Amino acid sequence: MGFKCGIVGLPNVGKSTLFNALTQTAAAQAANYPFCTIEPNVGDVAVPDARLTTLAGIAGSGQIIPTRLTFVDIAGLVRGASKGEGLGNQFLANIRECDAIAHVVRCFEDGDVTHVEGKISPVDDIEIIETELMLADLESLEKRATALEKKLRTLDKEGKDTLELMQRALVLLRDGKPARFAEVKADERKLFDMLGLMTAKPVLYVCNVEESSAKEGNSLSAQVFARAAEEGAKAVVVSAKIESEIAVLPEEEQREYLDAIDLEEPGLNRVIRAGYELLDLATYFTVGPKEARAWTITKGTKAPAAAGVIHSDFEKGFIRSETIAYADYVQYKGESGSRDAGRLRLEGKEYVVQDGDVLHFRFAN
């Protein structure tokens, strides 16, 4: 399936630099001029998960295979983008295709790096981007809602529900608020997501700071954190430039570098994990002598569909899932210990897979 996190922000704030660090390449051209990126860059990133190492250690697995998350490096947006300014609004389509937004905000002072607005002001920057996304959502939604209203009498239940959700989002957008503020019940969620609104997507603010603030952040990132807290959004601090330099070093040198700037792990890991959490995902594991592997599902997925992530045959022929909770697997030192302790459960088709479950699927061909 592949979940996608779109990297969004003003031009020249460090989006491609972050993307390169995340994907450990220099594939995306990062340079000190606005609108450097035109075509979106797409890359898969391993999701760091310490549990996987623990499981592999217990089972003596030969290989560790983390699950992956896709990041998309998108062209910079400017004031007026929704009306075709800058690189125009064709790039909004790249954002619509993503499941969540990593919004990179410039929180570093550097006279040599141009800021398109001429001053460093993260909250103003956030508002520029958010405004453009809201205007674009508003415009597209108004058109679609008007079209539906015209044929109101012929609408089926789904059509009427869709129109009602559109109107709910329109009230917010007209009031200058993002559509993700809408109250949406669990059984309405699918239809609401199908509206494809950019401001309905969950947002992670990525505060791009200078190297010396990579650990604690600075006064600018603090403003972003305050803003995120107001909206119930998440924020992380990272120094994209330094991370992109660390990412291409050999492993031992990476460790030395991180120690030197007093970081326990690359700041990127925080970005990836936060992106993963944003998408409301869960991880389950398959563990054996050959490999310990992590798999991604949406929270609430039942066992057969979870099995289908590995192979469609597993889903079609699903019989049951031998299930051990992560904590049990660790406490009872593996599968046989867990079985002896009565901690290996046989779960059927209705079982909702939990984050951390170690699973073994039984299926018929």
Ligand X SMILES: Nc1ncnc2c1ncn2[C@@H]1O[C@H](COP(=O)(O)OP(=O)(O)OP(=O)(O)O)[C@@H](O)[C@H]1O
Q: Which does 210 bind (CB under 5 to 8 A by kind): Mg ion, ligand X, none?
A: ligand X
Interface pick for ligand X out of 241, 297, 332, 359 (rule CB under 6 A): 241
Does position 171 bind ligand X by CB under 6 A? no
Q: Report in angstroms how near the CB of residue 225 gets to ligand X at its nearest.
A: 17
- Report the interface residues with Mg ion, using CB under 5 A: 15-16, 36-37
Interface pick for ligand X out of 27, 64, 65, 113 (rule CB under 6 A): 113
Q: Report in angstroms how near the CB of residue 40 gets to ligand X at its nearest.
A: 10
Identity of the residue, 36 or 65, whose beta carbon is nearer to Mg ion in the bound complex = 36
Residues 6+ apart with CB under 8 A from 353: 282, 284, 297, 301, 302, 303, 306, 321, 359
DSSP annotation of 350? T
C-alpha span between 289 and 360 (Å, rounded): 13
Question: How many Å separate Cα 316 from the centre of its chain?
Answer: 29
Contact 62, 42 (CB under 8 A): no
Single-letter amino acid code for the residue at 55: L
Does position 266 bind ligand X by CB under 6 A? no
Identity of the residue, 110 or 253, whose beta carbon is nearer to ligand X in the bound complex = 110
Question: Angle at the Cα of 207 (from 203 to 213), degrees rounded to 5?
Answer: 155
Q: Report in angstroms how near the CB of residue 34 gets to ligand X at its nearest.
A: 5
Does position 103 bind ligand X by CB under 6 A? no
Does position 239 bind ligand X by CB under 6 A? yes
Q: Which residue has the tokens 């983008």?
A: 81
18, two tokens: 């972050």
Contact 80, 128 (CB under 8 A): no
- The footprint of ligand X on residues 3-22 (CB under 6 A) is 9, 11-17
Bind-site residues for ATP: 12-17
Query: Mapping DSSP to helix (H, G, I), strand (E, B) and coil, where does residue 37 land?
Result: coil
The site for ligand X (CB under 6 A) is made up of 9, 11-17, 30-32, 34-37, 75-76, 108, 110, 113, 208-210, 239-241
